[in-house]
Amino acid sequence: MELIDLRYFIACADTGKLSHAAKAFDVEPSTVSRRISNLEDEFGLSLFERDHGGIRLTSGGQAIVVHARRILSEIDTLKRVGTRYASGRVGEIRLGVRIPPIGEPARSLLRDWRTAHPDVALTVREGNERDVAIALMERHLDVALIAGRTIWPSVTVLPLYRERLLAAIPADHLLATDLTLNWSSLCRETILVEGWDDNQAPREFYAWLLGNACDFQVHAASKQTILALVGAGAGVTLVTQSLAEATCPGVVFKPIDEENAWLEFDLVWPADAEDPLVGRFIAFMRDQSRLRGLL
């Protein structure tokens, strides 16, 4: 049995004549008659009663035509769904983030994506670098927005934008009166860093900026918790300009007057990913980054 057999069968049921069904498909009546006969042999029953006026469904044919219509309707639905997903215009993008995308330019990039693709669900999963990397490799995430120099195996990396770094210091700290700070003034302080036993990438990045001689205090915590510790007077930390847009009690943010006081954000995805929707998302972000001159 082939789908065309069901289509011929339904056309015959609707028109009541083999010749009319054959004309609808631009084939010979003998072709339709042979296909219907094959169906009857496969089912082991007569689908039509034939007389000089045409054909009409038997009771068995009436029962089968209901299911035949349902099957063809589902097939047509499958084709439409497949075409929509193949176009990359519907579905879901599962985005992993290391730092919440609460400020610019991440906020406007994601907003513009949502505006241009209203039928695509965008879900965000926040975690430390190790968790995001594992979720990406196990296909629980489609793409990740990662800050800092990303060195993961079997991934493709697209630099997307840069953000200025600011110093977060206690509001009652002596440095709070300075208009700008530099690395030498900061490295005399206790530097609070988020980190985990198996991943010290944030500390390594801080050390690259400030030098290894600094007093680094590493916490297995989020940046929000680190900022809470800054507000409690436990030390200072570095934040991106977008994070500085959020208020944090007891914390002030100061510009850093250094040429390398910036952080690069990359889009990262599995090198063998083939989902057209993920490809559309990546291309959109790449093009918007270039259009806005974010690098």
pLDDT of residue 114: 93
Q: Which residues contact 66 (CB under 8 A, 6 or more apart)?
A: none
Q: Which residues contact 171 (CB under 8 A, 6 or more apart)?
A: 231, 250, 251, 252
Angle between helices 59-86 and 276-292 (to 10 degrees): 30
41 three-state secondary structure: helix
186-213 pLDDT, tens digit per residue, is 999 999 998 876 667 788 888 989 998 8
- Grade residue 101 by pLDDT with cuts at 50, 70 and 90: confident
Q: Which amino acid is at 161?
A: Y
CATH of domain 3-86: 1.10.10.10
User: What integer is the mean pLDDT of 141-161?
Assistant: 86
Average pLDDT score over the chain = 90
16-69 pLDDT, tens digit per residue, is 999 999 999 999 999 999 999 999 999 999 999 988 878 999 999 999 999 999
Angle between helices 59-86 and 3-15 (to 10 degrees): 130
User: 91-158+267-292 has which fold?
Assistant: D-Maltodextrin-Binding Protein; domain 2 (3.40.190)
- 273 vs 141, 142, 143, 175, CA distance in Å? 11, 8, 10, 48
- Nearest-angstrom CA–CA distance, 15 and 119: 39
User: 162-262 has which fold?
Assistant: D-Maltodextrin-Binding Protein; domain 2 (3.40.190)
Domain ranges of the chain: 3-86, 91-158+267-292, 162-262
Residue 103 has pLDDT above 90, yes or no: no
| Fold: same for 3-86 and 162-262 | no
